Amino acid sequence: MSEHFDVHGGARLVGEVEVVGAKNSVLKLMAAALLAEGTTTITNCPQILDVPLMADVLRSVGCEVELDGDVTRITTPSQLSHRADSPAMGKLRASVCVLGPLVGRLRQAVVALPGGDAIGSRPLDMHQNGLRKLGATSSIEHGCVVAEADNLRGSQIWLDFPSVGATENILMASVLAEGTTVIDNAAREPEIIDVCTMLTEMGAKIEGAGTSTLTVEGVERLHPTEHRVIGDRIVGATWAFAAAMTRGDITVTGVDPHHLDLVLEKLRLAGADVTTYDGKGFRVVQDVRPQAVDFVTLPYPGFATDLQPFAVALSSVSEGTSMITENVYEARFRFIEEMVRLGADARTDGHHAVVRGVDKLSSAPVWASDIRAGAGLVLAGLCAEGVTEVWDVFHIDRGYPYFVENLNRLGARIERVTTDPERAITEEQS
């Protein structure tokens, strides 16, 4: 069976939507639970496909995982397996974040190379180099990352790029290492701060969260804790773009607007009226056609690469010409091929895309290549004449809880359609 969305164009989205826990945080917090024996409870978890996939990964190394609505309970035994090679690894990019905790706790790990979104190469060189600095050996063998250490000792580690995944893996390995570890050019994302907060609640000694330098004093052991996941800024930004694209009026709660300062400023430049509620949410009102704005993706606090599809989609219906520069993942511009199917006037040249806004897009069948591309195509479909079919929507389900339901409550008309491929072929032949 396969599923697609039928997206009816012409809707103006109005209303309020609540954002739950961040996908890019909860999966790493679940991995961090491996560092302490006992039961760790994580609340405000998003009900998305990636959470049960990560639960399967943790079960494969010996944990008991209970998923109860927005609460996840992870019971980590005293004796863990060092082999994380669950079939779920191939469906989940974030599964590689168990590497650091396993090396930190067990001094060894065999972790299957991860799968996930098709947005370009994301090599593990920095992850491995960081572990080697801590005293481990690391190599790729038979489709797995293999790491082992007699002991882990603190070290000065410089990252060539502020990689979120590398920062997290090195951080989680170093909290149980001997001595002091300093990670320079570390990622600064709010999700990194969230991981540091939970690790500190577990007994880790970390300074510099939210800056480019993390200093970790190793401790002998950690203890389980209860932690609430921060709101998902990428989902929050999705609703902000939805308001701007459909000339709507959306209030977003459950996310810190300061995590979206640059995004909201871009929407102001596009002509939106933006109101923020300190620490609680924001409102975006767009009464007229958006104005063209340029976007450049950069590590936080720059414009997130995850939001590039929405920048392209907004530019496609704006008045004027936008330049969009992608500096993080080279394959993100695959999204533009699908936007052209919808009538967008867009051209790419290396890391740059030029998008000339059109009055209205036109419906067509399109395919999601990753989570954010899928959501971006749905928003574009809302701005298109006719009914747009968005396929491979399992990507969207990996990152957005109740996406269709929330859109319909805001005034959209979207249906999830389940198709039996064999039946469709038979009917076509007849």
Q: What is the pLDDT of residues 193-241, one digit of tens each?
A: 999 999 999 999 999 999 999 999 999 999 999 999 999 999 999 999 9
Domains of the chain, CATH where assigned: 2-19+231-419 (3.65.10.10), 23-228 (3.65.10.10)
Active-site amino acid positions: 117
**pLDDT (0 to 100) of residue 115:** 61
**pLDDT (0 to 100) of residue 430:** 44
**pLDDT (0 to 100) of residue 40:** 98
Residue list for the binding site for phosphoenolpyruvate: 23-24
Phi-psi region of 234 (alpha: psi -120 to 50; beta: other; left: phi over 0): alpha
Question: What are the residues whose beta carbons fall under 8 Å from the beta carbon of 142, sequence distance 6 or more?
Answer: none
The whole-angstrom distance between residue 171's C-alpha and the CA centroid of its chain comes to 19
Residue list for the binding site for UDP-N-acetyl-alpha-D-glucosamine: 93, 306, 328
**pLDDT (0 to 100) of residue 427:** 43
pTM of this structure: 0.93
**pLDDT (0 to 100) of residue 116:** 45
Q: What are the residue ranges in the chain where pLDDT is below 50? A: 116-121, 424-425, 427-428, 430
